Amino acid sequence: MSEPAETTPVAMKTPARVGGGAPTDETGQRRRFRRPRSRQARVIIRKVGPWSVLKFSLLFYICIMVVILGALVILYAVLGAVGAIENVENLVGKLFSDETFRIHGDWLFTRATTIGIAMVVLWTLINVFVAFLYNLISDIVGGIEVTLSERR
């Protein structure tokens, strides 16, 4: 039986500095530091799924509608607290000789919600149509090329 070959650990040397300059290797030559390059990939978007566009657009436009309706509710409450709505009612009543004119918030917000839902459906369908149109055009021209890269 033979004895296992003896291995000596390699000593870790710290890079020597010549004249206080850049680090050098064991032979005394300067090492070049390379900044690690970020990885990049080129991707071509050839198809867009109409079903995913429908889901995303529907959710996106519903969120936009809720934000706008919320802002209108806050604006209506502030105008009501300041008394601006009552002043507008009086002004319109005097201008048109109709003392029974009133602004009803529930009527306004039901109409605004109905219009908002109609706009959500309309713009969602427009986005799905654009997705179908993109798919047709990308068959001809080959799609859109996108370069993805990592952040460092």
Q: What is the pLDDT of residues 125-137, one digit of tens each?
A: 999 999 999 999 9
* Structure token digits, residue 1: 């039986």
Read off φ and ψ for residue 48, nearest 5 degrees. -120, 125
CA distance 10 to 57: 61
pLDDT tens, residue by residue, 72-127: 999 999 999 999 999 999 999 889 888 888 989 999 999 999 999 999 999 999 99
Per-residue pLDDT band at 16 (split at 50, 70, 90): low
- Structure confidence at residue 62 (pLDDT): 98
27-36, 55-64, 116-125: the lowest-pLDDT one? 27-36
Strands 144-149 and 40-45: antiparallel
Read off φ and ψ for residue 67, nearest 5 degrees. -65, -45
